[in-house]
Amino acid sequence: MNIKEIVLAGAMLLSSAVFSQSPDKLYFDVYTKWDGLPKINSSSVNVIPGEIDCSFFFGLYSMKFKKVNDSTYHETVKTGIFWSSREELFEYSFKDSSYILEKYSAILGKSREEKSVLEETIYNKKYKDLLWLIDDFENGLFGDSLHLIVQGIPYSVKIEKTQKGKDILYFSNPPEIKDEPGDFMTFSFPFQLHAKEENEKIIPIEFHTKLLNVKSGKKTHLEGILNED
């Protein structure tokens, strides 16, 4: 699976929501639905200080974003399909206000040459990691564009915001993403988030998008709901 598209769609949700609950924990239930079938709770997103854990389709695909220290950031991506299981690690450093991809490695499965050649890439200062973007949102620095690095590739996403009273609707179309070898699914559909503004913070209510199976052409509807229990 091309996990980067999931991150692009989920980044806006996480950025707007991470401070809406206890600062120690944040949990999202993510439901999947295929045409003609009832929706099921098969995925989740868990946020703790300095770390984001995402699990999709009962753990079939997962990813973790972790701030190791002030100058080191790790991104881990796992694919759990039996015939093509893979675990990849992207290790970044932060120097002179820019991120550098220090090392890419495959912990499980075969490494990808198109990722290995990205080692030592120095990214434009506007591109941030997902945890940094969350901090930007809390401090009121989250504007009409999202700039982030996912699996060694920098992306920019335009975001539209409509607000009526305390109700806020966010909408974005994903950037143009070139399929890479090994991709199984892509997250190349519009993303919509409904949120409320309370006590100078933004609280998400739900989000909607779709996931495309590249091989079969089938679409999976995704619905994320903030779990406040």
> 19 pLDDT exceeds 50?
no
Is the dihedral angle over the CA atoms 69, 88, 1, 78 positive or is it negative?
negative
> Per-residue pLDDT tens for 108-124?
988 889 899 999 999 99
With beta carbons less than 8 A apart as the criterion, state whether 23 and 201 touch.
no
Question: Chain-wide mean pLDDT for the chain?
Answer: 78
Rounded to two decimals, what is the model's pTM? Answer: 0.79
> Per-residue pLDDT tens for 126-185?
998 888 876 665 554 667 888 889 889 898 888 888 889 988 888 887 666 555 555 555
Domain ranges of the chain: 3-226
Look at residue 5 in the predicted model and tell me its pLDDT: 52
Spell out the SS3 assignment of the chain.
Answer: CCHHHHHHHHHHHHHHHCCCCCCCCEEEEEEEECCCCCCEEEEEEEEECCEEEEEECCCCEEEEEEEEECCEEEEEEEECCHHHCEEEEEEEEEECCEEEEEEEEEEECCCCHHHHCCCCCECCCCCECHHHHHHHHHCCCCCCEEEEEECCEEEEEECEEEEECCEEEEEECCCCCCCCCCCCEECCCCEEEEEEEECCEEEEEEEEEEEEECCCCCEEEEEEEECCC
Look at residue 56 in the predicted model and tell me its pLDDT: 82
